[in-house]
Structure 1
Amino acid sequence: MSAQRAITQAEASPRALQDALQGALQRALQGALQETARDASPEAPPPAPAAAPRRVSLGSLLAATARRHPDRIAVVDPADKPAWSDRPAITWTYAAAAEIVERLARGLRSWRLPPGSRIGLCLPGSAESALAILAVEAAGHVACLLPVSWDEERLLAAAQGVALSAVLTQARLGSAAPAERLCTVAARYFGLRYLAAFGPDVPDGVINLDRFVLDGPAGEPAEPAPASAGIVSFVGGDPERPIYRSGESVVAAAAAHLVAMRVAPGERILSLIGPHDLRGLATGLGAALVAGASLETMPLFDGAAFAAALRRPGPTHLVAPAFLEKNLAGRDLPEDLRSVALVHRAPARLPGRSRAAGRPQSLRLDTVVDTIVFDETALLSGRRGTAADLSLVLGKPERLALPATLMALRHGPDGRLAFRGQASAAAALQRGTPPTVPSDAWQETAYAPVLFAGLATAIEAMETPEPAVSPEIFAPA
């Protein structure tokens, strides 16, 4: 049974989901790369029974779909991209995306950086951003997601705080010049050894990634790619609060989200949230690769461009910030729109019961998914108006219909929410070696649900108690 089929069973039989999802996800995700390799080489002998399975990653999912369905669309650039980047809007198939990722990864591996080095990605949510994330992962380094809106001081603080060795960016973004901004950062932080950018008019001293891709080697890799070293994102866009999670944790977070979203292979995810943090990565690129779907993002929101993208034919799943619900409600939405994921950041007020699907003042759609992001620790999704409605689940965590090893939820003694499982395995990043994050450890958050009659009406931030200060002890003179 495939991961997608197990996810589809959620509505018909929650118990079947409990039984099937655990094994299906593990087989489909961890075994994707091995199964694909056997399809490509039918005469190759099966792997030795004692061989450990390769770790699942976003790149392994890309490669698996590229081998099985090379002509399926993977990433779609917004139509207005040339206006703000001087770069063409390109539609990438899975096969083409896999080849470009491999070219980029080989180039990154040629840099004199030790495995697991931290490489910043300061890019808008276009195709280059998705390919760069996958290439850094394939090169065996840690991708650090730097919001392209950050100014020089915040970029410098992040570069110093996580010890960046390189940054991939873009020459132009509207009237801004991210590559030039990062040149100034590199002049102030000498640990930044490599700076590379996509686009025309790349500044002097900056590696041109377009040439990097065109002149790079193509074809199958000569040796197995290094293991994924993980992802770093920043809590609330604060450069002083980096969070690390493994590649497996990113895939698990996307899989848990898809249980509610239910995206079928070959369908389209249209996202208004860039892959700059957990919410954008898990609901966008991660979800598309786990489902074998297509991803289209809109880095710079334009009402007319969004309306045109939404009207394009084909089954579509929209991912949007929760505040856009009032703009979408009451509008004539396309029949091909299969679901709308409204993404909230904790703390947040949950939609009232009168806004459940089919009620007055609601979206004219019976497939609304609420998603709440708890800093960079966890992402919780539930289909509105069903047994998985987040108002019900946050009121009684035992209602969460996911395998415990994927995600578990509980109320702490003071009411705080805590998560456990592979989808929430994350920890604060230190300048040294990335931490080992056990998936069986409870991750406490700073948030608690506001309950009324057993239902959660909001998520509020709890005050963190100040640690007791030990008296200073002075040695006698």
Structure 2
Amino acid sequence: MQTAPSSAATSSGTALTLDDLFRRTVLRQPDAIALIDPPNKERVTGSAPRQLTFAQTDQAISGIAARFVEAGLPPGSIIAVQMPNTIEFVVTVMAALRAGLVVALLPQLWRQSELTIALNRVGARAIAGVSRIEIVDHGELALHAAAEAFSIRQVFGFGNDLPEGMTPLEITTSGMNGWLSPTLPDARRPAIISFDVTPDGFRAIPRNHLQLISGGLAVFLEAGLPQGARLLSSIAPASFAGFASSVVTWLLSGGSLALHHPADFQILEQQIVDDRHDTLIVPGPLAIRLAESGTLARPQVAIRHVIGLWRTPDRVTGSNDWQDTGTTLTDIYLFGEIGLFGARRLEDGSAAPITPGAFGAPRGAASSKTIGEIIVTPKATLALRGAMVPVAAYRISSEDSLTETPVLDYVDTGYAAHVDRVTGAIGITAPPVGIVGVGGYRFLSQDLDAWAKRLTAGAMLTALPDQLNGFRLAGRAGDNSRAREALGELGLNPLMVEAFRDRSSGT
């Protein structure tokens, strides 16, 4: 029978933090492998890939936490982090939490426009990044964004050739035994801030340790992962779902976490085939593709559990049946930054039916641990409530609305939904009106029109249906090359910029 790896509280009644979960594993197995870099890390960041034991990771976390404290960042202040899916990302976030800071997760594709909005919205005191990701100079990007955020006092970075004004960070694996944070951790205080786009606009979504652990448990228990699981994740932990499904699941399992910098399919196949990971965490459509290609069925592959994250939850039931009988697939339904729930595929490979009411993990088990509740609202939309759902962050205050909104204990996801009268199952039929989701990023439809108007007359930027991503962006202008340059100069997300790439007649 699958049981929770750790309760949410110590024997004294004090709620556990993420650092508490990590320290427990350090004490139990200090020499076990904890973190593994992507094999192509040197191409991505210019630094050689490495792997760390739990003892080495503990030293690295304390080293960077001490650096933050020495820099004068007070407990409770916010540090923003924008990094690729490498060891540095995980260590930096854990170090900030150990130092008593709050981490604002910045998606990798965000550029100056979005970074500036986010940094100013949360009043970040510092930002940590890397010198480069692929061909993009992220060191200069961080400095330029910091210059437009008056609250920023420190800019930290990993890598070679850091620009002037960026304080270097490095992974050290010794010399930090016994380092103690000057502040006592509190699991009920904010730990992570992610960002969401709702019909009401851009929102910062804080979560405490308990809410993050609840999200991780929803994934860990529904997937039936073993203690000491060897995880391979291609999901960047720059969102609630990404962080909960990879970092928190790793902390709950006490196993190893190997990272894949998305999205190099050939490298991912190499990691699946050559390394002995037992659990794979990837986008849902990619999980289906890997099974249908036969990659997971190769004799040398050790994968037994696949966790597929669906940022387009309305497409799960219409996806192909799971083909690989040697592994299990757990669909994780994602609703922006609001929350998630999981459902393991049925024996015939079809998606499990979702019903209203309390959901637990493992779903349907007699001893299932209740984690949240699914509601279909009178407006025929799906809503969530439970320990992981940050209700206050989505509540519309009187400042946002002409009328006071009553306090509710659930958040409406905006996804159109109905309950089948025969089966009792919920059908999720459409994404929120006015919001476009592209590759894990959400945009307001009206914002796309606004950006297009800043180009030449007659320019158009729109969202088109896409089988894998839900939507893809497409643009049209009199001079597409000039449109790309103009959007880049405005500091916009590459998804918008590349919407105006030239297409041959054969593509």
Please, what TM-score do these two structures have when normalized by structure 1? 0.78
Q: 1:317 aligns with which of 254, 266, 279?
A: 279
Task: Quote the residue 1:100 is aligned against.
Answer: 60
Does the alignment pair 1:73 with 2:1?
no
- C-alpha displacement at 1:55, in angstroms? 2.8
Specify which of 210, 219, 228 is matched with residue 266 of structure 1: 228
**Residue of structure 1 in register with 2:431 after alignment:** 461
Change (3 A) 1:208 1:230: same
Query: In 2, Cα distance between the equivalents of 1:84 and 1:419?
Result: 37
Identity among equivalent pairs (%): 24
In structure 2, what residue type is equivalent to 1:307?
A: E
Q: Which residue of 2 aligns with 1:134?
A: 94
- Assess if the C-alpha contact under 8 Å between 2:359 and 2:374 holds in 1: no
Which whole-Å CA distance do the structure 2 matches of 1:325 and 1:315 have between them? 15
- Asked if structure 2 preserves the Cα contact closer than 8 Å seen for 1:264 and 1:292, the reply is no
Counterpart of 2:308 in structure 1 is 342
Deviation string for 1:94-146 (max 9, x for gaps)? 11111110111111122323321111001111100001110111111110000
Q: Kindly provide the CA deviation profile for residues 445-470 of structure 1, in whole angstroms up to 9, marking residues without a partner as x.
A: 22243555433443423559xxxxxx
Aligned match of 1:285: 247
Question: Matches of 1:119 and 1:309 in 2, distance apart?
Answer: 32
Q: Determine if the alignment matches structure 1 residue 371 to structure 2 residue 350.
A: no
CA deviation after TM superposition for structure 1 residue 173, in Å: 1.1
Secondary structure of 1:285 counterpart: helix
Segments of structure 1 that go 5 or more residues without pairing to the other structure are 1-8, 11-19, 35-51, 431-439, 465-477
Aligned to 1:208: 168
How many Å separate the matches in 2 of 1:412 and 1:25?
A: 34
The one-letter code sitting in structure 1 at the alignment partner of 2:343 is G
Contact 2:59 2:174 in 1 (8 A): no
| Selected match of 1:226 from 180, 184, 195 | 184
The 8 Å contact of residues 9 and 16 in structure 2, kept in 1 or not, is answered as yes
Number of the residue aligned with 1:247: 209
Separation in 1, partners of 2:240, 2:359: 24
Give the Å deviation of 1:344: 0.8
Higher helix share: 1
User: Counterpart of 2:503?
Assistant: none
455-464 vs 185-194, greater mean Cα deviation: 455-464
Task: Find the residue that maps to 1:369 and give its secondary structure.
Answer: strand
Residue 45 of structure 2 aligns with which residue? 85
Write the letter of the residue equivalent to 1:30.
Answer: A
Q: 2: CA distance between counterparts of 1:388 and 1:256?
A: 21
SS at match of 1:276: coil
Query: What does 1:426-441 correspond to in 2, within 5 Å?
Result: 427-428=392-393, 441=409
Deviations 1:133-168 (A, max 9, x none): 101111111100001211111111111111111001
Q: Which of 359, 372, 389 is matched with 1:424 structurally? A: 389
Task: Name the CA distance, whole Å, in 2 between partners of 1:413 and 1:389.
Answer: 29
Q: Which moved more, 1:341-350 or 1:190-199?
A: 341-350
Residue 403 (structure 1) aligned with residue 363 (structure 2): no
Question: TM-score with structure 2 length normalisation?
Answer: 0.73
Q: 1:137 to 1:399 in 2, by over 3 A?
A: closer
The structural deviation recorded for 1:365 is 4.3
Alpha-carbon distance between aligned partners in 2 of 1:214 and 1:398, rounded to the nearest angstrom: 45
Whether the aligned pair in 2 keeps the contact of 1:451 and 1:458 (CA below 8 Å) is no
Q: Would you say the 8 A contact 1:125–1:298 is kept in 2?
A: yes
CA-based RMSD: 2.9
Q: Give the 3 Å change call, closer, same or farther, for CA 214–338 of structure 1 in structure 2.
A: closer
Q: Is the 8 A contact 2:229 2:278 kept in 1?
A: yes
Map 1:109-148 to 2 at 5 A. Answer: 109-148=69-108
Determine the C-alpha separation between the residues in 2 that align with 1:154 and 1:378: 22
CA contact (8 A) 1:372 1:381 kept: yes
| 1:391/1:457 contact within 8 Å kept | no
Deviation at 1:415, TM superposition (A): 3.2
The DSSP-based 3-state class of the residue aligned with 2:202 is coil
Residue 306 of structure 2 aligns to which amino acid in structure 1? V
Number of the residue aligned with 1:158: 118
CA distance in 2, matches of 1:241, 1:268: 34
How does 1:21-36 map onto structure 2 within 5 Å?
21=4, 25-26=6-7, 29-31=8-10
Give unmatched runs, 5+ long, in structure 2.
396-407, 435-507
Are 1:180 and 2:140 counterparts?
yes
Partner AA of 2:303 in structure 1: L
Contact 2:157 2:169 in 1 (8 A): yes
The answer to whether the 8 A contact 1:124-1:274 is kept is yes
Change (3 A) 1:429 1:131: farther
Q: Is the 8 A contact 2:245 2:281 kept in 1?
A: yes
Structure with the higher strand share, 1 or 2: 2
Q: Pick closer, same or farther for the CA change 1:169–1:429 going to 2, 3 Å.
A: farther
Q: Of 396, 412, 415, which aligns to 1:444?
A: 412
What is the DSSP-based 3-state SS (H/G/I as helix, E as strand, rest coil) of the residue aligned with 1:336? coil
Inter-CA distance 346–409: structure 2 relative to 1 (3 Å threshold): same
Q: Secondary structure at the match of 2:250?
A: helix
C-alpha displacement of 1:299 = 1.7
Asked if the contact 1:381/1:390 (under 8 Å) is kept, the reply is no
